[in-house]
Amino acid sequence: MAESPAHKFGQIIGELLEQIVRPQLEDFCKKHNLYLDYQKKNRPARNGRKVTWTDQYGNAHDLDFVIERDGSDLVKGRPVGFIEVAWRRYTKHSRNKTQEIQGAILPLAEKYRWNNPFLGVILAGIFTEGSLEQLKSTGFNILYFPYNTLISAFLLEGVNIRFDEDTPDNIFQETAEIIKNIPPEISERIINHIISSNQNNIDYFLNSLNNRLKRQITRIVIIPLYGHQNEFLTISDALQFLNAHSIYEGSGDFRKYEISIEFSNNDKVQAFLEDKEKIIEFLEFVSNQ
C-alpha cells in the first residue's frame, strides 16, 4: 500500500522533533556518563538501525531513544531511560497514539523495574488533555510542543503547515517536498524558533530526567517476614481466622524479606526475596543505578 502524503508529512515532522531533542539528550548523557542510543545510529552492539528491546514476554519493541548506563557502541548497557517521539494532527487520533506508546514502553519498564527507568514521551501537534493525563497517570514525563508553536516557527520562514482534514493530498505532498529541500541554515532557524517558544517545557523535561538519574538513596528498609501459612476456601473462613488471630502469637516459619529502597526524588523500589545472596545482589544492583 502506498504511503499517504499526510503520513509522509507526519514522518518529516517526527524527524524534525528528533533533531530538536537529540542534541540536548546527547549533551545530558555526555555530562552524566550515560549512553544515548537512537534510531539510524550506527552501533555495532545491535543489529540494523533500529533500537529494539525485548520485554519479559519475548515481545520486541522498537523505540526512538534509550538511555543506558555502562553502554557503549560495542556493548549494550542497562536501560535507565525509554523515550518515544510522536506527532498527531487531530485529537481523534491522540488517544490511540498514547495507548500505542504505553503498549511499547510499559512492558519494558516492568521488565527493568529494578532500574526504575525514566519514561519519557516527546509529543507535537494536538493531543487531548485526557490523553496527556493518561500518560502521566502511568508514570510518563511529557515534553509537549503545541501545534501552534510549530505553525509559527515555519511561518516565520515562509512555510505554511496549517492543515486540516480537508487539505488535499497534493498540498501535503508539496509541503513535504518544500520542507525536505529547505536549506540547512533555514532549517536551523526553524528549529531554533521551535526551541525558543518551548524552552520552559524543554527545561522542565530535562530537569525531570536529571532528577531521576541523579537520585541518591535516602533510606533502606529490610523487614524479615515470618508466619504460619494459613489457607482457606472461603472469605468467611478467612475472616473468622483474622478475627481470632493474635499478632503476638509465635513468629512462625520464616517466609521472605521485604526490601524497600527510597530515593531523594521520592522514587521507591521494592522487592520480596527469600535468598540472602539475592538480596545482596539486589542491593548492589540498585546502588549502581
Q: Is the pLDDT of residue 201 over 90?
A: yes
The interaxial angle of helices 184-197 and 147-155, nearest 10 deg, is 140
Q: Is the pLDDT of residue 118 over 90?
A: yes
* Complete DSSP assignment for 235-282: HHHHHHHHHH--TTS---SEEEEEEEEEETTS-EEEEEES-HHHHHHH
Q: Tell me the mean pLDDT in the region 250-274.
A: 79
For position 99, what pLDDT does the model report? 92
- 208 vs 5 pLDDT, higher one: 208
For position 1, what pLDDT does the model report? 46
Distance (Å, whole) CA 61 – CA 110: 13
For position 151, what pLDDT does the model report? 93
Rg of the chain taking only CA atoms, in angstroms: 24
- 21 vs 229 pLDDT, higher one: 21
- Residue 90, SS3? coil
pLDDT tens for 50-72 read 999 999 999 999 999 999 999 99
Q: Is the pLDDT of residue 273 over 70?
A: yes
For position 263, what pLDDT does the model report? 79
Would you call 217 exposed, middle or buried from its count of C-beta atoms within 10 A (0-12, 13-18, 19+)?
Answer: middle
Task: List, in sequence order, the alpha helices (H) in the chain.
Answer: 5-31, 91-111, 129-137, 147-155, 169-180, 184-197, 199-213, 235-244, 276-287
Distance (Å, whole) CA 11 – CA 247: 62
Distance (Å, whole) CA 226 – CA 28: 45
Q: By the 8 A CB rule, do 87 and 13 touch?
A: yes
Q: Is the pLDDT of residue 269 over 50?
A: yes
Which cell is 66 given?
534509550
pLDDT tens for 234-244 read 888 888 888 88
For position 247, what pLDDT does the model report? 66
Q: Tell me the mean pLDDT in the region 115-124.
A: 92
Q: Is the pLDDT of residue 2 over 60?
A: no
Q: Which CATH class, in words, describes the domain spanning 5-213?
A: alpha beta
- % of the chain exceeding 90 in pLDDT: 46
Q: By the 8 A CB rule, do 135 and 121 touch?
A: yes
Domain spans, the chain: 5-213, 217-287
For position 288, what pLDDT does the model report? 64
pLDDT tens for 155-190 read 999 988 888 777 888 888 888 888 888 999 999 999
The interaxial angle of helices 184-197 and 199-213, nearest 10 deg, is 80
Q: Tell me the mean pLDDT in the region 107-124.
A: 91
For position 183, what pLDDT does the model report? 92
Mean residue pLDDT of the chain comes to 87
- 6 vs 71 pLDDT, higher one: 71
Distance (Å, whole) CA 176 – CA 51: 26
Q: By the 8 A CB rule, do 53 and 60 touch?
A: yes
For position 242, what pLDDT does the model report? 81
pLDDT tens for 67-91 read 999 999 999 999 999 999 998 877 7
Cβ neighbours of residue 75 under 8 Å, at least 6 residues apart?
45
Q: Tell me the mean pLDDT in the region 213-239.
A: 81
For position 250, what pLDDT does the model report? 56
Distance (Å, whole) CA 254 – CA 109: 31
For position 154, what pLDDT does the model report? 92
Q: What is the largest CA-CA distance in the chain?
A: 80
